[in-house]
Amino acid sequence: MAAPLDGVVVVDFTEYVAGPYCTMMLADMGAEVLKVEPFEGDHWRRQQPVAGRESRYYIGVNRGKKSIAMRIETPEGRAVAHDLVRRADVVVTNYRPGLPEQLGLDYATLASLRPGLIYAALSAFGPEGPYSGRPGFDLLVQAMSGIMDFERKVERGVPVGITSFAPADLSTGMFTAYAIVAALFMRERTGLGQKIDTSLFASALAIQYRPTLAIESLDREARETMLGAVEAARDSGASYEDLLQFRTGLGLGRATAMYYRVFRTKDSMVCVACLNNRQRRGLRDALGVNDPAVDGHVYELGPAATPEDHLALAASYEEAFLARTTEEWLPILAAADVPCVPVVLTEEVFDHPQVAANGLIRSMEHPVVGTIRQPGCPVWMSNAEVGRDVPAPSFSADSRETLRWLGYGEEKIANLETEGVVQPPAAGPG
């Protein structure tokens, strides 16, 4: 079967996470992705290196691409880059605003070379505003967008961001890939190319559908009162932990919620996620505890409930779970239609039967580091082939092939390598 983006050529000028993740998604859909790296390589190649220029971080977000490394800042390198763009459908960049113009890789320049070009520009904070020219990474955007505060994870007196994955980076990559495919579809109908702007900051706000939704008739007064209290507390030197008192209702941590959390069992842990009262009643009854708050259609804690009452109720749930092992609890909870799973260690994921049944972890042979296992494309299509079991390219491995594809002769290729414009493929590992 054909892949959805067969024949689409993408020139990828991005580094780190968001841009490479976007273009990896396009490669999974069949696009030919030519990754143009700086002469020293994508910075992500130097994060947890395992062999030569190959690193865990780079391999994880560059599956299915080809690599050519060159000095775009030189006139000769810029000419090669422009030749690539002339044969491209899509260009993706993640430079700071202003730098593409200096490199001759801005939308106006490239669109003049390739009519109908789809040009996606990713940045940290967007093209306008006081932060537009600043460098930025996922952690900074978590801090700026409220994600870090909303998580309320505190270590050594300060909030801690999400570190198991990069929410702003990855969502930006996904939003950008989605926008590129939409732009390609529009070009099929109209013939028009266009520029796409996305940012980590915009994506971080967009994915917070609950905390960033304000019903002004209900929320404005409470928000302004809370901000006034916070300002006064900051003026008096309050710590971040002191500020949390303005946000937590009964003053209880989120872990005390009985129906959407992890519990210890006799031998390990089980996670439950009950988002309606029917499921909550199932959990309550399976445990043999008493909670009248879930009897109705809507969960109501009741104005008379004190923090002490709530903590005591939570303790009764915790004590009940300790009476059985996780394997004993899972069928009991399933029979009560309680959404639940065991807590799985990262190392256990690779060979989990649910993973194996759906082919979610793919094995590939990397030319430098050998066999690798990593998540593949997470979607399936009935009439299209998606996903590529092709590992991330070794450094500049495809430089000569790419230059030949542009029509360059062997003498010109040799000159570009000798003059230090294009990095030849490595002779050995990495």
Percent of residues, the chain, with pLDDT higher than 70: 95
SS3 at position 364: strand
| pLDDT tens, residue by residue, 248-263 | 444 444 444 789 999 9
Residue 381 and residue 3: Cα distance in Å, rounded?
A: 9
Question: What number is the average pLDDT over the span 325-342?
Answer: 96
Residue 421 and residue 206: Cα distance in Å, rounded?
A: 40
Structural domains of the chain sorted by starting position, each given as residue range(s) with its CATH number in brackets? 9-206+361-423 (3.40.50.10540), 216-246 (no CATH), 256-348 (3.30.1540.10)
Cβ atoms of 76 and 416 closer than 8 Å: yes
Cβ atoms of 167 and 147 closer than 8 Å: yes
The tokens describing 86, both together, are: 């002339």
The H or E element containing residue 332 is: helix 326-335
pLDDT band at 305 (very low <50, low <70, confident <90, very high): low
By C-alpha distance, which of 199, 198, 194, 197 is closest to 89?
Answer: 194
The tokens describing 193, both together, are: 């190319």
| pLDDT tens, residue by residue, 21-73 | 999 999 999 999 999 999 999 999 999 999 989 999 999 999 999 999 999 99
The tokens describing 55, both together, are: 């690193």
Percent of residues, the chain, with pLDDT higher than 90: 74
Mean pLDDT of the chain: 91
| pLDDT tens, residue by residue, 123-171 | 999 999 999 988 899 999 999 999 998 888 888 888 899 988 999 999 9
pLDDT band at 112 (very low <50, low <70, confident <90, very high): very high
Q: What is the pTM of this model?
A: 0.91
Check residue 249 and give its pLDDT: 47
Question: What number is the average pLDDT over the span 268-282?
Answer: 93
By C-alpha distance, which of 366, 361, 357 is closest to 346?
Answer: 361
| Torsion from C-alpha of 314, 317, 320, 326, nearest 10 degrees | -120
The pLDDT of residue 302 is above 90: no
Output phi, psi for 190, to 5 deg: -115, -20
Check residue 44 and give its pLDDT: 94
Cβ atoms of 68 and 34 closer than 8 Å: yes
Output phi, psi for 308, to 5 deg: -65, -40
Among 88-102, 221-235, 313-327, 350-364, which is the least confidently predicted range? 221-235
SS3 at position 327: helix
